[in-house]
Chains A and B, each alone.
Chain A
Amino acid sequence: MACVYIPVQNSEEEVRVALDQLPRDASDILDILKAEQAPLDLWLIIAREYFKQGKIEQFRQILEEGSSPEIDEYYADVRYERIAILNALGAYYSYLGKIETKQREKEEHFILATQYYNKASRIDMHEPSTWVGKGQLLLAKGEVEQAFAAFKIVLEGDRDNVPALLGQACVEFNRSRYSDSLELYKRALQVFPNCPGAVRLGIGLCRYKLGQFEKARLAFQRVLQLDSENVEALVALAIMDLQANEASGIQKGMDKMRRAFEIYPYCAMALNYLANHFFFTGQHFLVEQLTETALAVTNHGPTKSHSYYNLARSYHSKGDYEKAGFYYMASIKEINKPHEFVFPYYGLGQVKLKSGDFRSALSNFEKVLEVYPDNCETLKALGHIYVQLGQVEKAQEFMRKAIKIDPRDAQAFLDLGELLISSDTGAALDAFKTARSLMEKGGQAVPIEVLNNIGVLHFEREEFELALESLNKALGDGIWLILTGNKPKSYVIEASASILDYKDMQLFHRLEEDGLPVELPWNKVTVVFNLARLHEQLHNTGTANILYHLILFKYPDYVDAYLRLAAIAKARSNLQLSIELVNEALKVNDKCPNALSMLGDLELKNDDWVKAKETFRSASDATDGKDSYAILSLGNWNYFAAIRNEKRAPKLEATHLEKAKELYTRVLVQHTANLYAANGAGVVLAEKGHFDVSKDIFTQVQEAASGSVFVQMPDVWINLAHVFFAQGNFALAVKMYQNCLRKFYYNTDSQILLYLARTHYEAEQWQECKKTLLRAIHLAPSNYTLRFDAGVAMQKFSTSTLQKEKRTADEVRSTVAELENAVRIFSQLSAASNLHLHGFDEKKINTHVEYCKHLLVAAKVHREAAEREEQQNRQKQEAARQLALAEEARRKAEEQRKYLLERRKQEDEQKRLQQAEEHFKRVQEQWKSSTPASKRRERSEVDDEDGGHSEKRRKGGKRRKKDKNKSRYERDDEEPYMMDDREELGDEDANMNYEESTTQMNDQDDDNGENAQDLLAAAGLEDSDVEDEAAAAPSSAAGRRRRAWSESDDDEPLHRGTESSPVRENSAELQESDGEIREDNSKLNGGGGLDEED
């Protein structure tokens, strides 16, 4: 038993103090020490003993007493012991400061420590142990450089001062200069080979840090040899074992940890590691116990942080996100900077993501990214968060970065692909394809959803072959192969006949009887549906039909299959079947807005207005007024109603239009980019005469609609053309109608041809108008209105030709021909009206027949006149030609005469000379020279004859003049005819006006008839424009134009009603399949989430 002996003053006696029996009250001992003036080293020994026994209060009391001013005074010359006491106090407060977690107390302790050391220095400023103490204090305060200086002072005095060496080694360790630190430790060991194991611990740590793991291990083992219970060494070795990452290593490591734990159950690090281990083995109960202990025993921030993290993780994996979040937060609180320990940020990020708190999830993951800027999982997580926050571009940015860092992460490519689906199908496709090839290279089975998505994207980009390939690959082997025509044909052939009956599932029963199981796994239903849609798009209607039937055979509640079958039937005009199919869909879900909308559409097609409106209403109600299509349909309904009732009640029209506008606007508010709503709004605006605004709208819609296979909007082209037409820009209107016909209808739409004809009519291009109408008749033979219109066009052509001031006989001839045709057409129509083939009034047609016949009579007269004139022209030309010939002849004769005259002159001259000569020679030969003179006389006679001829011609001229007079007379004669014509036209106008008002009732069911009447009315009005006929004046040109506009629009929406619906179906379908994709997405996301949690 260790004892100290306190010498009794002035005696040889000593007081024996058993160190293990120190009194509880330190004052007892202090009294003795003070009374006996015991040497100071005894004070220190006793104090240290108290300290060792954990009696800190007593320790402090003794030392504080031992450093009091009285002692200084009394033991003034005992320097070393006094310093030792002060240093001990300094060291004590340094330690307190070091372990104190509260900042203020910490500082107070340090201040005290500093005071003690300073006091010691005042006694002897060269005392090395004081410097060592100061160095330790500075180290504890984190002032590494100053600590370095303090230790240096000591080592300069004594380079083998072991405490200073150790201190300096610690400084270097903290400066991360591990080799320097190692050197210092080594020297300390050389100087003091028997130093405690802790020194070797330092060496081990340095070696560990330097990556010399084997030597580190040796050092730690040596520590354990010296002190088999050195927990730090055990823990260090255990960590090294664990890090070896082998099953055996982990086993050994855990053994050591356990031993460390057994030796000293309060080593926080060991506890943390144990907890960590049990986390992975799933023993969450142990994790919680261990970490709670660790938390209780340590004040070390990073260690605590680790403990909280373990706890949080445990709760996280158990799904207790609230607690997990709380502990992650606690863990983060123990950390100053994310760089120290970043994992809890990641965990917290995940927890926040789970609870939908995207903002804080974002900030946590961003912290992780600060530390690990290239961490793919974090980048992906951030990408997902930005998706949730609607910042798609940022999301893409992160995904792209993740892919750049790890171009082999198929999952990242998939995520990116899903992000891009809605914005950039091309890029999405690329991403999916990369993912696919990565998976294929890695020997991984490509998930069905991925192949499905690739297929759908190809589909959307109109790459049908590739789409087919991908979807077939997604489906793999199955019953569908037999049904889509790659296998035995007989079933398909059988099937193609049974397409008419949607309930006929015989095919599948037969397949089963033949031992071919009809199976359709749930995860392939979507793919089969998409494949069917693709076949539909490729016009393989039979195959599409069979596939939809297959879906319904196995999944009779698959509403979309019914709807697609209904759409196919509708496209083939089989309305009855279509309605039946929609009703099947409604049996499954009587609130299905798509089915209701479609039903409404079909009812509208069947002219069942009231029912249609109700159906659209219920479609809208079924979605709480959120379904744009239902609202749009109601808007259209109101629009049609407005137009329908136009002539009856202008007030009602205004109400309906207003309602339509309101509905379109409502859709636009919800979806600013809804093309159909914008189109509708444009139509209403145009209806009100705001052509410029509506033109802008239509133009924008047209631009927006181009580019997607699923958006086909011919209506907007037609509407634009209508606007051009209404503004009198006929050339552009024609172009627009023609483009629309070609682009969307394979030139098969007779209705647009009618618009085109009407435009030609307004532009007074009669032949084009007629040709266009003939084409329309050829396309729609049973539309008698077109025949009527053609008749009107020909009639109009004739009238206008006859009214021309100048016209050729050819023109008049063709006029007669056209009038004959018109008479034939009208007569046929008249005859046909007996059979009730069309809704025209027989009387009206007869009026036309009579008028045309009348015109024909006049035209024939004109033709005769024109032909006569033509003949006269011919004669005149002939005469002119004759005249020219005669002139030529005369000129030639004149020339000849002149020539002859000249020659004669010359001859005469010659002769005169000759004569003169001969006169001298033969005067008697003078008689001879008179012969040429007689010749000349003959010639003059010929000249006379010429003159006679020209007289004759003059006579001809006279006759022509007479003819002219006659024709003028005829024309005068004709004047009344023309007047008659006009009067009759006027009458007809009146007639037609009358008829219009009487036939309106009938025409209500027949828009086409109405249209024709308008056309006719327009024709009549056009005629009346020519002169002063006031009969039709009340309906001004503007009114007519307006009517023309509304008329053409009147047909347009009907048309739109029919056409926009398939488009919508497509888009609905797309949404549908998108939905499927999204479902897949969320599944994938779910998977991804789990991965991350792991």
Chain B
Amino acid sequence: MAKSMKLAGLKSVDNAHDESVWAATWVPATDTRPALLLTGSLDETVKLWRPDELELVRTNTGHCLGVVSVAAHPSGVIAASASLDSLVRVFDVDTNATIATLEAPPSEVWQMQFDPKGTTLAVAGGGSASIKLWDTATWRLISTLSIPRPEGPKPSDKSSSKKFVLSVAWSPDGRRLACGSMDGTISVFDVARAKFLHHLEGHYMPVRSLVFSPEPDSRKLYSASDDGHVHIYDAEGKALIGAMSGHTSWVLSVDVSPDGEAIATGSSDKTVRLWDFKMRAAIQTMSNHTDQVWAVAFRPGGGGRLASVSDDKSISLYHCS
């Protein structure tokens, strides 16, 4: 077993936003600039930060109600941000020019992710119990992947709201999409055939974050749930491989390091934890935040950087080795 990973705090920015910071992702580097950290907040702004000093590059305004999710195109050129009013704004990272505004009422917008090739943006559609797929060339809605309604005498109000889709994740090869629901079920879709494959069971509380392990382990799916656990599934084999506990409250966010060796989680218990999948155990706990940690994100590419954002309005950057 390789030497386990270790986190060290690099930089924290207090009051990075005027309100709770709810979303964060890395915008990959382009030829002209390094990778940037993109954050979204209840204060209705989206901000861009340059590592490692976390120097504020720009503040994007224009959203109403809080910003709940952000996503970056693999090219690093464009990014998307979404707010509680269910609007997605697609913009040019460097110029902040609006490229498109997306909405598919009455579907809400929660987590979003660009597919690895950058041709499709997947959006968790909340109460519509579906994932909306947008073409990144035309910015047209190309597909709606719906979770099949459970068989029953009548689809009652309750059961449908349970399939409320919160989170979404692409497999590294772009062939599979997984989404997490309020009732804890995870649904796996075959993207090419736009077909629902199966559910992954084990959680019974909201799954707010999902991430696939990178190649070659790409069948492995990590899920973060309000039940305080991180589950590891074989997304193809429909099996629960393992469960990791330790957080004392909801697990809000999960991300896997680019080499697939370590998993980071952010939780309502104010901590960021680093886990070793092989040990099925937490290696390290960071307690620098003073409120819920809504997002954790490993920087793609390398250099070992992890960012976390929190309700305490701050953002933090860690070095991981």
Q: Report A's interface with B, CB cutoff 8 A.
A: 485, 489, 492-493, 496-497, 499-500, 538-542, 571-575, 745-748, 771, 774-775, 777-778, 781-782, 784, 790, 817, 820-821, 824-825, 827-829, 831-832, 834-839, 1006
Q: Residues of B contacting A821 with CB < 8 Å?
A: 64-65, 85
Stretch at the interface among B6-14, B115-123, B239-247: B239-247
Say whether A831 contacts B105, CB under 8 Å.
Answer: yes
Asked whether B65 lies within 8 Å of A572 as measured between CB atoms, the reply is: no
Dominant secondary structure of chain B at its interface with chain A: loop
Q: What A residues does B209 contact at CB under 8 A?
A: none
Instruction: Tell me whether B242 and A817 are in contact (CB under 8 A).
Output: no
Q: Which residues of A contact B126 (CB under 8 A)?
A: 781-782
- Nearest CB on B from A494, distance (A): 9
> Beyond A485-B281, A493-B280, A572-B227, is A834–B106 a contact (Cβ under 8 Å)?
yes
B56-72 interface bits toward A, Cβ cutoff 8 Å, 1 = contact, 0 = none: 00000000111010000
Chain B residue with minimal CB distance to A574? B204
- Determine if A782 and B161 form an interchain contact, defined as CB atoms under 8 angstroms apart: yes
Min CB–CB distance B67 → chain A (angstroms): 10
Q: B280 contacts A542, CB within 8 Å?
A: yes
Q: A745-B249, A821-B64 are in contact. List 18 more A-B contacts (CB 8 A).
A: A492-B280, A497-B240, A497-B242, A540-B246, A746-B292, A747-B268, A774-B84, A778-B42, A778-B84, A781-B166, A782-B127, A784-B161, A835-B106, A835-B127, A835-B160, A838-B157, A838-B161, A839-B157
Minimal beta-carbon separation of B88 from chain A (angstroms)? 14
Q: Is B164 an interface residue (CB 8 A)?
A: yes
Query: Does B268 lie within 8 Å of A781, measured CB to CB?
Result: no
Once bound together, how far apart are the Cα atoms of A912 and B268, in whole Å? 96
Q: Please tell me which one of the listed residues B160, B228, B278 contacts residue A837 in the complex, with CB atoms under 8 A apart.
A: B160
A817: B residues at CB distance < 8 A: 64
Cα(A355)–Cα(B98), bound, Å: 91
Within the complex, the shortest CB–CB distance from A506 to chain B, in Å, comes to: 15
Q: Is the CB of A778 within 8 A of B157?
A: no
A783 CB to nearest chain B CB (Å): 8
Q: Are B311 and A572 in contact (CB under 8 A)?
A: no
Give, as a whole number of angstroms, the nearest-CB distance from A493 to chain B.
Answer: 6
Contact B42 A771 (CB under 8 A): yes
Residues of A within 8 A of B269 (CB): 746
> When the two chains form the complex, which single residue of B19, B86, B250 contacts A748, counting CB atoms closer than 8 Å?
B250
Q: Which of A489, A747, A775, A825 contacts B85 (CB 8 A)?
A: A825
Residue from A820, A835, A838 within 8 A of B128 (CB atoms): A835
CB of B68 within 8 A of CB of A778, answer: yes
Are B245 and A781 closer than 8 Å at their CB atoms?
no
- Closest-CB distance, A532 to chain B (whole angstroms): 13
Query: In the complex, are the beta carbons of A775 and B281 less than 8 A apart?
Result: no
Determine whether B148 belongs to the interface, using a CB cutoff of 8 Å to chain A: no
Contact at B227–A781, with CB atoms within 8 Å? no
Whether, in the assembled complex, B291 has its beta carbon less than 8 Å from a beta carbon of chain A, the answer is yes
Question: Among residues 274 to 321 in chain B, which have CB atoms less than 8 Å away from a CB atom of chain A?
Answer: 278-281, 291-292, 311
Query: Of B157, B166, B184, B204, which one neighbours A836 at CB under 8 angstroms?
Result: B157
- B contact residues around A540 at 8 Å (CB): 245-246
A771 and B205 in contact, given A835-B127, A835-B160 (Cβ under 8 angstroms): no
Interchain nearest-CB distance for B293 vs A (Å): 10
CB distance from B48 to the nearest CB of A (A): 22
Decide if A539 touches B246 in the complex (CB within 8 Å): yes
Among B108-165, those with CB < 8 Å from A are 108, 110, 126-128, 155, 157, 160-162, 164
| Complex Cα gap A539–B182 (Å) | 22
Pair A831/B106 contact, Cβ less than 8 Å? yes
Contact with A along B2-40 (1 / 0, CB 8 A): 000000000000000001101000000000000000000
Interface residue B229 (Cβ < 8 Å from any Cβ of A):
yes
Pair B291/A573 contact, Cβ less than 8 Å: no
Interface presence of B75 (CB below 8 A) = no
| Min C-beta distance of B19 to chain A, whole Å | 7
CB within 8 A of A539: which of B105, B184, B245, B268? Answer: B245
Residues of B within 8 A of A836 (CB): 155, 157, 160
Give me 13 A-to-B residue pairs in the complex whose CB atoms sit less than 8 angstroms apart, sorted by A's number: A493-B280, A496-B242, A497-B242, A540-B246, A572-B228, A746-B270, A747-B292, A774-B42, A775-B20, A777-B84, A781-B164, A784-B127, A835-B160
CB of B96 within 8 Å of the partner chain: no
Q: Which residues of B contact A832 (CB under 8 A)?
A: 106, 127
- Nearest 3 A/B pairs, CB to CB: A831-B106, A782-B164, A573-B204
Q: Which residue of B lies closest to A493 (CB)?
A: B280
Query: How many Å lie between the Cα of A542 and that of B227 in the bound state?
Result: 13
Q: Which residues of B contact A (CB under 8 A)?
A: 19-20, 22, 42, 64-66, 68, 84-86, 105-106, 108, 110, 126-128, 155, 157, 160-162, 164, 166, 182, 184, 201-205, 226-229, 239-250, 268-270, 278-281, 291-292, 311
Contacts of A746 in B (CB 8 A): 248-250, 268-270, 292
List the A side residues contacting B249 at CB < 8 Å. 745-746, 748
Given contacts A539-B245, A824-B85, contact A775 B42 (CB under 8 A): yes
A835 contacts which chain B residues (CB < 8 A)?
Answer: 106, 127-128, 160
Contacts of B243 in A (CB 8 A): 496-497, 499, 541-542
> Which chain A residue lies CB-closest to B184?
A573
- Say how far A540's CB is from chain B's closest CB, in angstroms: 6
Residue of B nearest to A1002 (CB): B157
Main secondary structure of the interface of A (DSSP, over half): helix
B155, B203, B204: residue with the most chain A Cβ atoms closer than 10 Å: B204
* Among A573, A782, A828, contact of B205 (Cβ-Cβ < 8 Å): A573
Which chain B residue shows the least CB distance to A500?
B202
A545 CB to closest chain B CB (Å) equals 9
Cα of A778 to Cα of B208 in the assembled complex, Å? 11
B residues less than 8 Å from A1006 (CB atoms): 157
Closest residue of chain A to B228 (Cβ to Cβ) is A539
Point out the residues of chain A lying under 8 angstroms from B160, CB to CB: 835-837
In the assembled complex, the CB of B240 is this many whole angstroms from the nearest CB of chain A, namely 6
Q: Give Cα A237 to B292, complex, Å.
A: 87
CB distance from A978 to the nearest CB of B (A): 27
A539 partner residues in chain B, CB cutoff 8 A: 228, 245-248
The CA-CA distance from A745 to B226 in the complex, in Å, is 12
Contacting pair B182 A781 (CB below 8 A): yes
| Cα(A820)–Cα(B20), bound, Å | 23
In the assembled complex, the Cα of A202 lies from the Cα of B162 at a distance in Å of 103
Chain B residue nearest to A569 (CB atoms) is: B204
- For the complex, what is the distance from the CA of A497 to the CA of B126, rounded to whole Å? 29
- What residue in chain A is nearest B43 (Cβ atoms)? A771
Q: How far is the CA of A15 from the CA of B64 in the complex (A)?
A: 150
Question: How far, in whole Å, are A582 and B203 apart by their CA atoms in the complex?
Answer: 20
- Please, which residue of chain A has its CB at the minimum distance from the CB of B42? A774
Shortest Cβ distance from B205 into A: residue: A573
Q: Separation in Å of the A813 CB from the closest CB of chain B?
A: 13
* Nearest CB of chain B from residue A438's CB, rounded to whole Å: 37
Q: Contact at A541–B245, with CB atoms within 8 Å?
A: yes
Distance between A987 CB and nearest chain B CB, rounded to angstroms: 27
> Hey, which chain B residues are within 8 Å of A541, CB to CB?
228-229, 243, 245
Do B65 and A774 touch (CB < 8 A)?
A: yes
Inter-chain CA distance A371–B88, complex, in Å, is: 91
A485–B276 CA distance with the chains assembled, in angstroms: 14
Find chain B residues with CB under 8 A from A496 CB: 242-244, 280
Closest to A535 in B: B245
Separation of A832 and B245 alpha carbons in the complex (Å): 36
Q: Could you tell me if A748 and B292 are in contact, using CB atoms closer than 8 angstroms?
A: yes
Q: In the docked arrangement, what's the CA distance between A143 and B248, Å? A: 84
- With A539-B247, A778-B22 known as contacts, the answer to whether A747 contacts B311 (CB < 8 A) is yes
Q: Distance in Å from the Cβ of B186 to the closest Cβ of chain A? A: 14
A824 to B164, CA, bound (A): 20
**Nearest B residue (CB) for A541:** B245
> For A571, what are the chain B residues with a Cβ–Cβ distance below 8 Å?
227
CA gap between A541 and B282 in the complex, in Å: 13
Which residues in A have their C-beta under 8 angstroms from that of B240?
A: 497, 500
> Nearest CB to that of A832 among chain B residues?
B106
| Chain A residues positioned under 8 Å from B245 (CB to CB) | 539-542
- Separation of A223 and B157 alpha carbons in the complex (Å): 111
The reply to whether A837 and B242 contact each other, CB–CB distance below 8 Å, is no
